[in-house]
Amino acid sequence: MKKQYPNQFARVGISDEAVLEKIRSSFETIFFDPEEKFFHEVDEDSACMVDTGNIDARTEGMSYGMMMCVQMDRKDLFDRLWQFSMRYMYQKSGKYEGYFAWSVDLTGKHNAEGPAPDGEEYFAMALFMAADRWGNGTGIFDYEARARDILRRCVHQDEMAPEGRAMWDPDNHLIRFVPEADFSDPSYHLPHFYQLFSERSDPEDRGFWKKAAEASRAYITLSADPVTGMSPEYAEYDGTPRFMFRKNFGYYSDAYRVAMNVALDTLWNGPTEGNAAAVTRLQDFFRGIPTEDYRAYQIDGTETEEPAMHPTAILSVLAAASIASRSAAADEYLLRFWELPLRKGKRRYYDNCLYFFCLMMLGGVYCPY
């Protein structure tokens, strides 16, 4: 691990050495602990990340796992995850040709055919980083060529596949919830990735990705509640919450990632005023609430009777937000997160993915290779 950014935990007295050891041990737990790992070997040359709450493999988790591996310099594990993704998830024909089925069972059988765009964008970024860190191979291991192909599909699928649809709206440059949708998911917006895509994608698409980065930063601000800073799970292109799937909750599982994304964009590219203000409001809202009391919320802060499904994820992203936040509570979240263990049990997959990403960025080792 090469530390390229400040150790944010030093603000609360935690040494670089202690932070690097915690990152190392957390990675070991996620990938190798007999009881708590969710890295699952499938074939001699392939493996998947298991959503332990649903017992499937998702493009979200596969691409997250690849990003973890490239950051931790584990090409062996990265290649096994990528092999599974290409062997069992990659679509070779039809309107989804070149995309990845978002959910498969642990044998690779498809649970769904359509893609989830957050998987594609993480796949592409992890592959570009792999190319820079380890160099390109051949076939599916020509990382940079595969990354460019994914991005080409994301922007031009309408032209490339019968009845296909791009993952980004060509007019407003916003990512769609799914290709068929004309609305978005604020947590899908990764302007820090698009900034790099504007340097690494096909030359003719680089202007598109630069505009996408600008549009996504503005959209994160637009869709965040002006009082609480909470982002909705799903939102119209004008930022208005769109209710689906979650009993009309606004701030729920997907939405937690927004603060994490703002933090990483700030770390890599500097602050965006509107988004810094949003995560400041978010930290101020949650200040003083114990982790075990986190609920599902409306984005105006109204509590529901539903406990938060992923309380570890909430505290993790609140701590990551300290990179961008101006809240007086920022250092409190760093200390609380430092004392928080990885989650155990059935729901550990999503919580511990976000936990690990937040730990890396706060420790200064989450780097844009």
Burial class (CB in 10 A: 0-12, 13-18, 19+), 107: exposed
Query: Residue 230 and residue 251: Cα distance in Å, rounded?
Result: 6
Q: What is the pLDDT, as a whole number, of residue 190? A: 99
Please identify which of the residues 254, 265, 284, 351 carries the catalytic annotation: 254
**In sequence order, which residues have a C-beta less than 8 Å from that of residue 341 and are 6 or more positions away?**
none
Q: What is the pLDDT, as a whole number, of residue 37? A: 98
CATH at 273: 1.50.10.10
Radius of gyration of the chain (CA): 19
Burial class (CB in 10 A: 0-12, 13-18, 19+), 142: middle
Query: pLDDT tens, position by position, for the chain (369 residues)?
Result: 666 999 999 999 999 999 999 999 999 999 999 999 999 999 999 999 999 999 999 999 999 999 999 999 999 999 999 999 999 999 999 999 999 999 999 999 999 999 999 999 999 999 999 999 999 999 999 999 999 999 999 999 999 999 999 999 999 999 999 999 999 999 999 999 999 999 999 999 999 999 999 999 999 999 999 999 999 999 999 999 998 766 667 899 999 999 999 999 999 999 999 999 999 999 999 999 999 999 999 999 999 999 999 999 999 999 999 999 999 999 999 999 999 999 999 999 999 999 999 999 999 999 998
Query: Other C-beta atoms within 10 Å of 2: how many?
Result: 9
Query: Residue 31 and residue 348: Cα distance in Å, rounded?
Result: 13
Q: What is the pLDDT, as a whole number, of residue 243? A: 84
Q: What is the pLDDT, as a whole number, of residue 74? A: 98
Beta-bridge partners for 251:
297
- In the block, tokens 């984005």 appear at 299
Query: Residue 255 and residue 309: Cα distance in Å, rounded?
Result: 12
Is-contact 49 61, C-beta < 8 A? yes
Would you say residue 123 lies in a domain? no
Please identify which of the residues 60, 79, 120, 225 carries the catalytic annotation: 60
**Both tokens assigned to 9:** 């935990």
Q: What is the pLDDT, as a whole number, of residue 244? A: 76
Is-contact 309 253, C-beta < 8 A? yes
Query: Residue 340 and residue 325: Cα distance in Å, rounded?
Result: 20
Handedness of CA 200, 82, 320, 304 (dihedral sign): positive
* C-alpha of 278 from chain center: 18
Would you say residue 353 lies in a domain? yes
Q: Classify 354 in phi/psi space as left (phi over 0), alpha (psi -120 to 50) or beta.
A: alpha
CA angle, residues 283, 177, 132, in degrees to nearest 5: 80
Would you say residue 242 lies in a domain? yes
**In sequence order, which residues have a C-beta less than 8 Å from that of residue 174 and are 6 or more positions away?**
168, 184, 189, 212, 215, 216, 219, 237
Would you say residue 315 lies in a domain? yes
Q: What is the pLDDT, as a whole number, of residue 168? A: 98
Q: What is the pLDDT, as a whole number, of residue 249? A: 72
Would you say residue 324 lies in a domain? yes
Beta-bridge partners for 100:
90
Q: Which structural domain range is residue 240 located in?
A: 1-37+224-369
Is-contact 167 150, C-beta < 8 A? no
How many structural domains comprise the chain? 1
CA separation, residue 32 to residues 29, 36, 50, 194, 304 (Å) = 5, 8, 13, 32, 37
State the DSSP code for 308. P
Exposure on the CB side of residue 326, measured as CA atoms within 13 A: 8
**306 is known as an active-site residue:** no
Would you say residue 283 lies in a domain? yes
Would you say residue 114 lies in a domain? no
Query: Residue 309 and residue 53: Cα distance in Å, rounded?
Result: 10
Query: Residue 187 and residue 41: Cα distance in Å, rounded?
Result: 29
**76 is known as an active-site residue:** no
Would you say residue 127 lies in a domain? no
Query: Residue 368 and residue 172: Cα distance in Å, rounded?
Result: 26
